[in-house]
């Protein structure tokens, strides 16, 4: 009985730590050029990233890629926690109108690395995003 209680307490603590790590990923983030701001938020049991602000240049680049309305667009799609501080899902790149597999890794409370790759996790590109106050 005591072992079961200790095991249950350990599982509860681990789950709480996982939820806190996930919450640290939520919020508004800006790309390195400060041309796009994305709100990472829960979308059901997954995480998504919605564009909440974009520069005029970013909007024009997106239009050239076939995306008329950049603000409100979901860029990070169907992200699920892979391990503590790491999410895996799909990243839509509006400039070229294509979706790639991707990861988001929380580096600390102010920075995250977004990485997108071709199929098979080859030809990857990454950026460090910064949390917006």
3 state DSSP class of 27: strand
Residue 18 or residue 118, greater confidence: 118
How far out from the chain centre does Cα 96 lie? 19
Q: Is the pLDDT of residue 75 over 80?
A: yes
18 pLDDT band (50/70/90 cuts)?
Answer: very low
Instruction: Report the pLDDT value the prediction gives residue 120, as an integer from 0 to 100.
Output: 66
* Structural domain boundaries in the chain: 26-129
CATH fold, domain 26-129, is: Lipocalin (2.40.128)
Task: Indicate the range of 1-5, 31-35, 76-80, 85-89 predicted with least confidence.
Answer: 1-5
Task: Indicate the range of 5-9, 18-22, 120-124, 126-130 predicted with least confidence.
Answer: 5-9
Which residues have C-beta within 8 Å of that of residue 132, sequence separation ≥ 6?
A: 27, 28, 29, 30, 37
Region of 110 (left: φ > 0; alpha: ψ -120 to 50; beta: rest) is alpha
Instruction: Report the pLDDT value the prediction gives residue 1, as an integer from 0 to 100.
Output: 40
């Amino acid at each position: 009985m005591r072992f079961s209680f200790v095991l249950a307490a350990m599982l509860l603590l681990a789950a709480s730590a996982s939820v806190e790590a996930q919450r640290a990923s939520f919020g508004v983030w800006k790309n390195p050029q400060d041309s796009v701001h994305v709100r990472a938020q829960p979308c059901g049991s997954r995480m998504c990233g919605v564009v909440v602000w974009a520069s005029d240049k970013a909007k024009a680049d997106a239009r050239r890629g076939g995306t008329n309305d950049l603000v409100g667009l979901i860029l990070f799609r169907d992200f699920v926690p892979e391990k503590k501080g790491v999410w895996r899902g799909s990243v839509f790149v509006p400039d070229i109108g294509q979706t790639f597999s991707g990861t988001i890794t929380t580096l600390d409370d102010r920075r995250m690395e977004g990485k997108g790759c071709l199929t098979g996790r080859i030809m990857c590109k990454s950026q460090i995003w910064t949390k917006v106050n």
